Amino acid sequence: MSKRSLSSLSATEVSGKRILVRVDFNVPINDQGVITDDTRIRAALPTIKDLIEKDGKVILAAHFGRPKGQVNEKMRLTAVSVRLSELIGKAVKKTESCIGEDAESKVNAMNNGDVVLLENVRFFSEEENNEPGFAQKLASLADIYVNDAFGAAHRAHASTQGVTKFLSPNVAGYLMEKELQYLQGAIDEPNRPLAAIVGGSKVSSKIGVLEALLDKCDKVLIGGGMIFTFYKARGLSVGKSLVEEDKLSLAKELEAKAKDKGVELLLPTDVLLADNFAPDANSQVSSINSIPEGWMGLDIGPSSIKVFQEALSTCRTVIWNGPMGVFEFDKFAHGTNAIATTLADLSGKGCCTIIGGGDSVAAVEKAGLAEQMSHISTGGGASLELLEGKVLPGVAALDNSI
């Protein structure tokens, strides 16, 4: 069921109203308290600006870090309020706490078009426990609820789900709407052929998504450290590459499932090896059939890159989740960078390219190709769960579209 969007609320419905907007401002901040990447703040701007233009009173709720239900001075949202003020060109007042006297007085003093940022909601354990009393206190600050925090939509927390029981309407913000449109659309109604590229170090972290994608995709390409579990399951020697011994039978099952469903499952045929896990390690390219003892695979090899590029060339929709190797080390970033470049080229030819959160996003941004992709997801765990076909509590709680 599609969800009601902020676009369905007219200026008349918003003007003068207090709107609680759940945003994902969990941005990286260095030891000097400086935000090193404001992507998530900028991603929420369309929703915030729309509500300002419609003369709403914008009350932002967000979490930062994992304070475990206690006030942590290093996890206050002060730097976020400063950066947001710069981006929207007007002062953003921050409360001392997300509920209580200070929050109430700052909200009551708001004029139409004002923005207030509530302090870190996770300073209260009741947030993650989704306690109704806490949710009601948060909701009492507002009249309308907008969820624009896709990155937290897989959590059934007070600010993502609980508040919807006390507010109406409850709608998706523009970022949330876009995420659902691309990710859900790619799975439910893709332009085919549909390919998924799944990388990362462990099979265990991607079991659900791999099984779901084998039901939906025409092609599944696997890279990253998880490939060595598949090779070991085939009886190949993998040197000292990362292997999940307890997932060998699962790897066999996934290969068998792909064959049964007629899905083209591609694993690299060669790998770039290192003699130790270091950016300056000695390296050599090896066929997967002859990996020597004492060496570990840290990237896919040049032949595999060509095979992957060829497989992707005919696709109309591609979802990518997880790097092809240890892209943080420049020497072992060739596979990941090649996939990023290939997808950027495909985007220019009309292919829908979706970067499904996590390390893939970091890799695409490091390669300077983010702007050329159709969609970059802001959610790591949320993206994976949506691709797995799971119901996201923060989405399910919103009103259905009329």
- DSSP per position, 348-396: HTT-EEEE-STHHHHHHHHTT-GGGSSEE-S-SHHHHHHHTTPPPHHHH
- Enumerate residue ranges in the chain where pLDDT < 70: 1, 357-358
Catalytic residue among 202, 234, 331, 390: 202
Neighbours of 289 (CB within 10 A): 11
Integer Cα distance of 199 and 211 in angstroms: 14
Ramachandran region of residue 188, left (φ > 0), alpha (ψ -120 to 50) or beta? alpha
Give the tokens for residue 46. 């369309």
The whole-number pLDDT of residue 366 equals 86
What's the pLDDT score for residue 159?
98
245: Cβ contacts below 8 Å, ≥ 6 apart: 232
The whole-number pLDDT of residue 17 equals 98
Instruction: Give the pLDDT score at 203.
Output: 86
69 catalytically annotated: no
> Known catalytic residue: 202?
yes
- Return the pLDDT at 388: 85
Which one is catalytic: 3, 22, 40, 57? Answer: 40
* CA distances (Å), origin 85, targets 116, 173, 245: 10, 20, 51
Contact 80, 41 (CB under 8 A): yes
Give the closest residue to 278 by CA, choosing from 296, 265, 291, 263.
Answer: 296
pLDDT at 389: 84
40 is catalytic: yes
Q: Which residue out of 239, 358, 379, 394 is catalytically annotated?
A: 358
Contact between residue 268 and residue 296 where contact means Cβ atoms under 8 Å apart:
no
pTM equals 0.88
Cα–Cα distances in angstroms (integers) from residue 230 to residues 220, 222, 223, in the given order? 14, 10, 11
- The yes-or-no answer on residue 235 being catalytic is no
Q: How many helices (H) and strands (E) does the chain have?
A: 16, 15
Active-site choice (69, 185, 208, 381): 381
Q: Where are the alpha helices (DSSP H) in 132-206?
A: 132-139, 174-188
